[in-house]
Structure 1
Amino acid sequence: MPYTPSGFFCDRLIRERERRDGEGSLNKPLRFNGQDFNALRQECLQKKSLFEDDSFPATVESLGFKELGHKSNKVKNIVWKRPKEICENPQFIVGGASRTDICQGDLGDCWLLAAIACLTLNEKLLYRVVPQEQSLSESYAGIFHFQFWRYGDWVDVVIDDRIPTFNNQLVFTKSAERNEFWSALVEKAYAKLHGSYEALKGGNTTEAMEDFTGGVTEFYEMKEAPKELYKIMKKALARGSLMGCSIDSLVPARFETRTVTGLVKGHAYSVTAVEECKPSQHKESKTRLVRLRNPWGQVEWNGSWSDNSKEWATLSKTEKEKLQHQSAEDGEFWMSFEDFRKNYTKIEICNLTPDALEDDKIHKWTVSVNEGRWVRGCSAGGCRNYPDTFWTNPQYRLRLLEEDDDPEDNEVGCTFVVSLMQKNRRKERKMGANLYTIGFAIYEVPKEMHGNKQHMQKDFFLFNSSKARCKAYINLREVTQRFRLSPGEYVIVPSTYEPHQEGEFILRVFSEKRNTSEEIENRIEADHPVPAPASVGEESEEDQQFRTIFQEIAGDVSTGGRGKEEMEITANELKNVLNRVISKHKDLNTEGFSLESCRSMIALMDMDGTGRLNLQEFRHLWNKIKQWQGIFKHYDADQSGSINSYEMRNAVNDAGFRLNNQLYDIISMRYANESMNIDFDSFISCLVRLEAMFRAFQAFDQDGDGTIRLSVLEWLQLTMYA
């Protein structure tokens, strides 16, 4: 659901202030739903009561909205129980967290469980997500907490330990050890973050990997993977990266079905090790192996190097111990790298960022993070196929400052990764939201425009082709790609494939060398040409007509013996004056001005605070309206009586106002109709409001530093009258 302008921008200002205070960092994560784990636990311990989480209650609403909703038979026999009601001697973690602690239940979230399995390979990462010193015995109060990365911030999610069961068995994720519950509680916290358990159904392993690390994921299709893929995987695991892989299912009906080799199509696996061994019969060469894990905790590969295959007999005891070979139906198995490439269709590698592990010196990514949104009718311009609106998308200036230290293939340049992630679509799934098809293009900025932070206009994109772009627009949460370009300035344009699709996103740029990226925000300013009063004898026929009408209407209501020059008109009378003249402009195709518009006009021109306009004030107003009328007619080329909200950006600029994307968003939401068109009355009302607010601000900004301080009274006086 779209935000209201005030709600969204107030929320954004609050978030930015929180970041300045360190909120959302590793050491000071945001409190999800405002819940403070330590305070809540202490309160429960003092009251000797067990925590019950009202924000994610033990009800059907927390289970789901469709397949796990009120009308589903699946939920009728589900009972929420605490671990101590399920088994004797329940433990949070038994003998350390390991891959075998994660076994999939009746929820299609293998993608999440594959990521959790990867997480257990790195203890530092694991305890970032699963804070230590949590127990089902010591200081137990039925409350736990977990931390996830969410769109640029770390958040701390508090839950109670009531878990869905059926016949006293966990319905969803469980451990091979019946009395171990950490993995089930992680899943519950992640479900709370997204609104329900059902919201976790179906996904991509990379999504959870990134939410556990704040990292960035690169995808490789096996058919197109580089020759050095084995080295890439080996290096990735050595530096703590998380890896997942899967086999595409071409036929939906065969989704998640077991093949004759024991592998499952349409299913997510974890890559847990990459090693080399030296079978005795191969004296010279080494065999490259990959270890994988099925989140089901069972169903394994049965080919070469599977648990009980003959190949293991060729290895020494030392080699077997190095590889931790076990013959157990635990979902984990080895296979040769060659078989891995033949059978799997894609692999995903989640590279860590500096904030994933504070003290890990290996990770040297420089990360630039930008939040943005596409607003229908203003900044949701669609892809390059829509040249009339593409340029209105948010734009981000990228500066590549240093070349790589060790360029591959002797090519110079700066290597960087661009990640475009759409926000909140999973959480909004219950309201019918699906993932948009998203992508981005990168344009080189001409040297003469370096340092110029103006939003690139339509003509720039018509006459310049992109320097680089994502391989394809795709309906994933995130689109990521690696590039190498020469040092310089570039513009990144993120967009949905179709125009008019509204949503929020986060754009990140990663590089091992320095880069900077920032949204191109025009400097907010306005020209204020004051039209000179027309001198006697220079009045046009229209001016004379206005004077006559003005005097006629003002004279009818004036009292007190004032002269003609002192006559004044009210908002209602102004409406009559303007509409009598505007009605003669058949090319404007307008129904005229509303009373509210005329009140705003009086507020703009009323210099003496009477709530009325005299002839001089009225003449100034009319000169402005004539100027704005010409701009409107220029963009209303088809004489439909309206201009579209994308053209409004240029029209506002022609009227002398330089605004940023946030303000254009507000204008579209405030003044455009359902078809995202702006009629003449709304157009003039918008410009009147802009002129009035700029003028008021400048009156208060005595020292010209661009900031003012207002009391509540001053703020209300200013906004209520305007």
Structure 2
Amino acid sequence: MKEEERSECGGEPLFEDPDFPSDDSSLFSDSSTPITRLQGDITWQRPQEICQSPALFPDNINLGHAKQGLLGDCWFLCACTILLKNKHLMNKVLPPDQPQWGDCKYRGSFQLRLWQHGHWTEVTIDDRLPCINSTLCFSRCHAPTAFWVPLLEKAYAKLHGSYERLWAGQVSEALVDLTGGLAERWSLGDGGAEEEQGTEQDSDRVRRRRLDLNLLDPVKDGCALSCSTHSSPGGASELGQYHALTVMEWLDVSTVSGGQVRLLRIRNPWGRCCWGGAWIGSGAGWSSVAPACAMDLQGRTAEGEFWLDETEFLSQFDDVTVGYPINEEGHLKSIYTGNLLTHSHQLVGRWVNGHSAGGCRNSSNYSSNPKFWLKVCERGEVLVSLLQHRKRRHTQQYAQTTLGDSKNTKHQHYQAIALHMWKVEKKRFNLGRTLNKPPCASTHCHAYEREVILHGQLEPGYYLLIPSTFLPGAEARFLIRGFSSSATSLSALKTPGPSLPLVTDGEWESSYFQGMWVVGMNAGGSRNFLSHWQNPWFPFTVCDDPAGTSEVNVRITLHQSQPDTDLHPIGFHVYKVPEGVSELTLPRDEDPVASCVPHCYTQDVSLACCLPPGAYAIVPSTYQPDCPGSFTLNLARKIHRRVVKSQERLGRAIQEVSHISVMRS
């Protein structure tokens, strides 16, 4: 630590983040991007070492926009624009009233919040920023004394593991992470014959909607709009293979000939003009509008901004990303109707190989995918999204992938996913018959996207939602989110357990066991894994039935002590312990005599069965190894007692009651 890095009051050392240190481990992950050549040249400096009077925001907010540096994160910087347009969103991400430079309470740290997997996550960073020759080498604000952008970039890099992991991405992902809302990508091109011939999992461009700016008019002031190109448009050769830009505004302008032309103002995060169209500088386009109008519009452009007309826009850019507006109460506004979506729900889920990763509708195991109920109480607009967790790329494999191969890069991060929906009568619901019918709505194609979205006006009733990956056995965690203008509910359809034998009323003696799965010790996972025998196990005995029957009814319930958002798939097996074998050793070569499988994402799983007298052991487990958590086992055994005649005056027959506990079936 530098000796001079002390707070102004009390001389306390300034905060240095041990989890995201100022060294190469925070800069690089796999050395697969061009910033690798900066290794050894980067130093870390605090804002007060870079300029004399640092502040989070400039006095002129227009100078607070992001300017891209040497890091290829234009997608993230384009999304940052929505925060400058919406103060309540900015305050959510960067809570106000934090001590800044020159403040007596300043300690060299900042707290930011980013949305991840359904929740806002607080990220604490120090304010040491990567520099080359005392100049910020990554993002910055147009005002050299403003630092909210590089601090937010650092927090986002910490969340992803390094700055290098911000190289290349989707604007839609960053918009969701900065707002907790929704974002959609729309196509500008015609898709092309080659795309239309692609297989289902690769034809994601075909499934995207075509842009209609007229549709966005009701929400144009609140939504975020970004455009991207995968080639070099309009003579802008410096754009290279991929670049994202921000649409600042669009408007219809009257021409001198009595017609109209729609113009769009575009901001390049590089901070310099990169366009050679008819509306650049003194281009020919300006002669078609009144001089006063031309002067006004040209005066609106800041550094790195330019105008172009809708025809140029549609022909030169490949797609756009639309971020949904969010009001101060946190409600989304539909980009289709302008309606407020005041009701929202979310549930977590997971595709598990061999259990719930059934693949697409062409697969015979499709019905094993996770299933959800959407209840619509009254007719209204409904949006349902499926968001999968990002999978980390394989370092060596990614290092061999060229940066221009965006499809391969995207496929390494995500599974190809889709969401299908059927309207059903819940009381007469039959899964097989339902899945043989066409869905009432779907995302059409499986797409290598982090999030896919269904939209529609739905009538009251029950709807079955099934998220799926294209390939069977593909594993991933996911989040189902629902937004609606009218009252709805969202719940998981619990996977039914095995058929249980019916038991008659009677007395039950219960025993309770508590345990924990601990990573590296006894979280062994299911029987699919050799570590299964590391799981906790609980011995019990079934005694001879005094009534003379050969078997005893037993009920076992496993309850996991996890919140609904963090449930593990759980189940258990019951093993017979042979005579003469120590209870400390389980017979690993024997099959279980009873099982509660497949493993289910629920708080409780239970099994009722009949067991002959003998010694047994229960082995509870999660499906995957190394899933920590605590649990409770409830073991209930049927008790047979003789009815005793009472000598009471009323002459009634009474049953003796177990003093241990009573459970009525």
User: Match for residue 301 of structure 1?
Assistant: 275
The CA distance in 2 between the partners of 1:360 and 1:43, in whole Å, is: 44
1:505 corresponds in structure 2 to 478
Instruction: State the superposition RMSD in angstroms.
Output: 4.4
Q: Which residue of 2 aligns with 1:396?
A: 372
Q: Conserved in 1, the CA contact under 8 Å of 2:388 and 2:476?
A: yes
Alpha-carbon distance in 2 for matches of 1:697, 1:424:
46
Residue among 666, 670, 685 paired with 2:570: 666
Relative to structure 1, is the Cα distance of residues 309 and 449 closer, same or farther in structure 2, using a 3 angstrom cutoff? same
Q: How far 1:260 moved relative to its partner?
A: 1.1
Which structure: greater helix fraction?
Answer: 1
Q: 1:427 to 1:187 in 2, by over 3 A?
A: farther
C-alpha contact (below 8 Å) 2:344/2:482 kept by paired residues: yes
The equivalent residue for 1:369 is 346
The answer for unaligned runs of 5 or more in structure 1 is 1-41, 250-256, 404-413, 451-455, 532-593, 607-612, 625-654, 672-678, 707-722
Partner of 1:237: 220
Letter in 2 for 1:163: L
Given candidates 483, 489, 492, the residue that maps to 2:465 is 492
Residue 165 of structure 1: aligned partner: 131
The code of the aligned residue for 2:223 comes to S
Number of the residue aligned with 2:22: 58
Q: Is 1:137 aligned to 2:102, yes or no? A: yes
- Deviation larger for 660-669 or 359-368: 660-669
How many residue pairs align between the two structures? 530
Letter in 1 for 2:542: M
Over 3 Å counting, the alpha-carbon distance change for 1:436 and 1:243 in structure 2 is same
Q: Tell me by how many angstroms 1:483 deviates.
A: 3.0
2:593 to 679, 684, 691: 684
Write the distance in 2 (CA, Å) between the matches of 1:337 and 1:266: 21
What is the distance in 2 between the residues matched to 1:99 and 1:370?
A: 40
1:201 aligns with 2:167: yes
- Superposed, 1:304-453 pairs within 5 Å as 304-312=278-286, 315=289, 319-320=293-294, 323=297, 325-326=299-300, 330-353=303-326, 357=330, 364-365=340-341, 366-387=343-364, 389-403=365-379, 414-425=380-391, 434-446=413-425, 448-449=427-428
Identify if the C-alpha distance between structure 1 residues 199 and 664 changes in structure 2 by more than 3 Å, giving closer, same or farther. closer
Q: Which amino acid aligns with 1:146?
A: L
- 1:603 pairs, out of 540, 546, 565, with 540
After TM superposition, give the deviation of residue 68 of structure 1 in Å. 7.0
Residues 378 and 668 in structure 1, CA contact (< 8 A), matched pair in contact too: no
Quick one: distance in 1 between partners of 2:478 and 2:158? 21
Distance 1:213 1:697 in 2: 53
How far did 1:286 drift? 2.6
Structure 1 CA distance, aligned partners of 2:301 and 2:456?
A: 43
**Deviation of the 1:311 alpha carbon:** 3.3
CA contact (8 A) 2:596 2:607 kept: yes
Deviation at 1:396, TM superposition (A): 0.8
Say whether the 8 Å CA contact 2:28–2:36 is kept in structure 1.
Answer: no
Question: Please, which of 620, 633, 637 is the counterpart of residue 551 of structure 2?
Answer: 620
Q: Do structure 1's residue 120 and structure 2's residue 58 form an aligned pair?
A: no
| Matching residue of 1:247 | 229
SS of residue in 2 equivalent to 1:667 = strand
Structure 1 residue 506: deviation in Å? 0.7
For 1:230, give the aligned amino acid.
L
Superposed CA offset, 1:472-506 (max 9, x none): 11111111232344432111101111122222111
- Displacement, 1:206? 0.8
CA distance in 1, matches of 2:128, 2:274: 32
* Offset, 1:116: 0.9
Amino acid at match of 2:137: V
Shift of the 383–657 alpha-carbon distance from structure 1 to 2, 3 Å rule, reads farther
Change (3 A) 1:142 1:313: farther
Q: Judging changes above 3 Å, is the alpha-carbon distance between structure 1 residues 520 and 360 closer, same or farther for their aligned structure 2 residues?
A: closer
Q: Aligned pair in 2 of structure 1 residues 59, 385: CA closer, same or farther (>3 Å)?
A: same
Contact 1:174 1:183 in 2 (8 A): yes
TM-score when scaled to structure 1? 0.64
Secondary structure of residue in 1 paired with 2:265: strand
**Partners of 1:248 and 1:266 within 8 A in 2:** yes
Correspondence for 2:257 among 270, 282, 297: 282
Do 1:525 and 1:657's aligned partners in 2 also have CA atoms closer than 8 Å? no
CA distance in 1, matches of 2:164, 2:426: 51
**Aligned residue among 113, 137, 142 for 1:176:** 142
Task: Give the C-alpha shift of residue 664 in structure 1.
Answer: 8.9
SS at the partner of 1:391?
Answer: helix
Of 406, 424, 436, the match for 1:463: 436
Matched residue of 1:243: which SS?
A: strand
Distance 1:402 1:614, change over 3 A: closer
Describe the superposition over 1:217-237 as per-residue Cα deviations: whole angstroms up to 9, x where unpaired.
Answer: 223212468788122233232
SS in structure 1 at match of 2:595? helix
Offset, 1:72 = 4.7
- Given that 1:526 and 1:656 are in contact with CA atoms closer than 8 Å, whether structure 2 keeps it comes out as no
Deviation per residue, 1:445-483 (Å, 9 max, x gap): 136436xxxxx65x3455333222112111111112323
Q: Write the distance in 1 (CA, Å) between the matches of 2:51 and 2:634.
A: 68
Cα deviation per residue 1:45-67 (whole Å; 9 max; x = unaligned)?
Answer: 66632111112111222112112
Structure 1: distance between partners of 2:634 and 2:376: 36
Q: Percent of pairs identical after alignment?
A: 28
Q: Does the C-alpha gap of structure 1 residues 694 and 386 become closer, same or farther in structure 2, counting only changes over 3 Å? A: farther
1:479 to 452, 455, 463: 452
Distance 1:114 1:477 in 2: 18
CA distance 1:242–1:169, change in 2 (3 Å): same
Q: Does the 8 Å CA contact 1:353/1:363 hold for their aligned counterparts?
A: no
Contact 2:112 2:124 (C-alpha < 8 Å) held by counterparts: yes
Give 3-state SS (helix, strand or coil) of 2:142's partner.
coil
Q: How far off its partner does 1:317 sit?
A: 6.7
Q: Deviations over 1:230-259 (max 9, x none)?
A: 222332322x1111111234xxxxxxx565
- Distance of aligned partners of 1:218 and 1:686 in 2 relative to their CA distance in 1, 3 Å threshold: same
For the Cα contact (< 8 Å) 2:68–2:140, is it kept in 1? yes
Contact 1:261 1:303 in 2 (8 A): no
Q: Normalising by structure 2, report the TM-score.
A: 0.69
* CA deviation string 1:657-695 (max 9, x = no partner): 999999993239999xxxxxxx99444353599557453
Name the SS of the counterpart of 1:464 in structure 2.
coil
Query: Counterparts of 1:248 and 1:375 in 2: how far apart (Å)?
Result: 35
**Preserved contact between residue 181 and residue 326 of structure 2 (Cα < 8 Å):** yes
> Are the equivalent residues in 2 in contact too, given 1:146–1:157 (CA < 8 A)?
yes
> Conserved in 1, the CA contact under 8 Å of 2:245 and 2:266?
yes
**Larger deviation, residues 467-476 vs 42-51:** 42-51
Residue type at the aligned position of 1:208: A
**Cα shift at 1:525:** 10
- How far off its partner does 1:76 sit? 1.8
CA contact (8 A) 2:50 2:135 kept: yes
Deviations 1:411-467 (A, max 9, x none): xxx5422211112436998998621111111122136436xxxxx65x345533322
> Against the structure 1 CA distance between its residues 287 and 596, is the aligned structure 2 distance closer, same or farther, given a 3 Å change threshold?
closer
Moved more, 303-312 or 103-112: 303-312
